[in-house]
């Protein structure tokens, strides 16, 4: 199965309303899909995190020339070759996001070629469906705090009414005394039974994160995500040692090398590789093995289209329990916001979420079929 072509698709649409997390406002949803074609007529799909103009350049000018004519089944040799040839200017960031897209497409192809879903190729299926948690409560363009609280509480209640057993909110985008009010209102609205996580997206230094983390503990927060930037490993360690609640992170790190110290020094409790950035399913599996070897939970991060969603689901299905028992701590799966057209409106059939659980695709490869008409609708020409 020789690779005959590598195509890129820049998809985009404007949000009906801008939103923010602690670092930036967003008005546009966009992503880059990569399509790898082979000599036997099969097509594999992958996705790259980050600005499509940048990742597209890396796919087309750096990786495509090496991929044409290569054997598509040779996933790990290709990964190592592409990583080594781009090392001088790569190792992290958009270059590895581009490599991630290629890698995910090759896994999709291998599955289609063998007739097996990707989670079987990754080692097998520990779970056929996975409980979902909702990531939402992003900041809205509403300056008045009472009105913002009203909107975010309403959003959290909608998640709960749709069967999500846990919700994750953003902090760090407004002063802590305001974020604290939002947190209190959401906790009061969803009740004590619903899991509540917070994500600071690297908004704090270690000392501030510890002070805020102590308050989060009082509200029975399940985990504190990205309290400090990933560059501040010592900061992560200080936060983790000072607090009782679980610390999560890793979505902004790249490859097994990038996550090595975070894992080996146990700077987090929950490792969250983003497959479209970390180096695809190949790197995601390596990071998961590293994490579980060091006794840490691995819960893939997910902020992509249906392609990224399927990839993350296959890895999540193939993760062992840490530790194994009759009642292990559950693997839970991230679903961002209520609606995302690139996730919910790109495949011929979206991946179903029912009763608070999402089903792991069983069809060969990633198990999703993209609708060409819908691709045309979102493609930037």
Q: Which residues bind Mg ion (CB under 5 A)?
A: 199, 225
CB of 8 to Mg ion, least distance (A): 26
d(CA 366, CA 345): 16
For Mg ion, which is the closer residue by CB, 199 or 340?
A: 199
For Mg ion, which is the closer residue by CB, 224 or 378?
A: 224
CB-based closest residue to Mg ion: 199
State CA 307 to chain mean position distance. Answer: 11
Sequence-separated (6 or more) residues with CB below 8 Å from residue 204 = 172, 212, 227, 228
Burial class of residue 333 (count of CB atoms within 10 Å of its CB; 0-12, 13-18, 19+): buried
How long a stretch of residues is the chain?
Answer: 381
For Mg ion, which is the closer residue by CB, 135 or 292?
A: 135
CB of 207 to Mg ion, least distance (A): 21
Sequence-separated (6 or more) residues with CB below 8 Å from residue 54 = 94
CB of 337 to Mg ion, least distance (A): 13
Identify the active-site residue in 9, 119, 301, 314.
301
CB atoms within 10 A of CB 345: 16
Q: Go through 42-68 and write b for each residue having 16 or more CB atoms within 10 A of its CB, e for each that does not.
A: bbbbbbbbbebeebbebbeebbbebbe
Site of tokens 């701590």: 329
For Mg ion, which is the closer residue by CB, 199 or 238?
A: 199
Take residue 154 and report the two structure tokens written for it.
């309403």
For Mg ion, which is the closer residue by CB, 35 or 199?
A: 199
Whether 10 is catalytic is no
CB of 226 to Mg ion, least distance (A): 6
Sequence-separated (6 or more) residues with CB below 8 Å from residue 306 = 342, 343, 344, 346, 347, 350, 351, 368, 370
- Cβ(232)–Cβ(206) below 8 Å: yes
For Mg ion, which is the closer residue by CB, 70 or 246?
A: 246
Helices (H), the chain: 52-57, 64-67, 75-85, 93-114, 118-121, 145-161, 176-190, 206-218, 233-242, 255-264, 275-278, 280-293, 306-317, 341-344, 372-378
* Catalytically annotated residues: 301
């Amino acid at each position: 199965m020789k690779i005959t072509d590598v195509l890129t698709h820049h998809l985009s649409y404007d949000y009906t309303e801008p939103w923010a997390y602690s670092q930036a406002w967003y008005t546009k949803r966009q992503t880059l899909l990569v399509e790898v074609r082979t000599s036997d007529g099969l097509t594999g799909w992958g996705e790259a995190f980050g600005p499509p103009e940048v990742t597209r350049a890396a796919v087309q000018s750096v990786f495509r020339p090496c991929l044409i004519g290569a054997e598509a089944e040779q996933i790990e040799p290709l990964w190592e070759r592409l990583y080594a040839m781009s090392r001088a200017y790569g190792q992290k960031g958009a270059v590895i996001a581009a490599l991630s897209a290629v890698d995910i497409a090759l896994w999709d192809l291998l599955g289609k070629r063998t007739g097996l879903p990707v989670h079987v190729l990754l080692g097998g299926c520990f779970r056929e469906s996975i409980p979902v948690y909702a990531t939402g409560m992003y900041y809205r363009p509403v300056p008045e705090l009472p009105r913002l609280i009203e909107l975010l509480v309403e959003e959290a209640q909608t998640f709960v009414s749709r069967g999500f057993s846990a919700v994750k909110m953003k902090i760090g985008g407004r002063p802590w005394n305001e974020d604290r009010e939002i947190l209190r209102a959401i906790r009061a609205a969803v009740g004590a039974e619903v899991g509540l996580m917070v994500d600071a997206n690297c908004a704090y230094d270690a000392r501030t994160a510890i002070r805020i983390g102590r308050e989060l503990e009082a509200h029975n927060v399940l985990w504190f995500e990205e309290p400090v930037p990933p560059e501040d490993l010592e900061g992560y360690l200080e936060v983790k040692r000072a607090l009782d609640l679980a610390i999560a992170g890793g979505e902004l790190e790249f490859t097994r090398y990038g996550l090595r110290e975070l894992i080996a020094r146990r700077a987090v409790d929950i490792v969250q590789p983003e497959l479209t950035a970390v180096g695809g399913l190949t790197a995601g599996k390596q990071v998961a093995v590293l994490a579980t070897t060091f006794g840490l939970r691995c819960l893939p991060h997910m902020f992509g289209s249906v392609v990224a969603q399927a990839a993350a689901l296959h890895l999540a299905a193939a993760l062992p329990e840490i530790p194994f028992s009759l009642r292990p701590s559950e693997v839970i799966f991230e679903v961002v916001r209520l609606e995302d057209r690139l996730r919910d409106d790109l495949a011929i059939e979206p991946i179903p979420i029912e009763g608070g659980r999402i089903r792991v695709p069983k069809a060969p490869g990633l198990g999703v079929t993209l609708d060409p008409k819908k691709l045309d609708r979102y493609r930037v020409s």
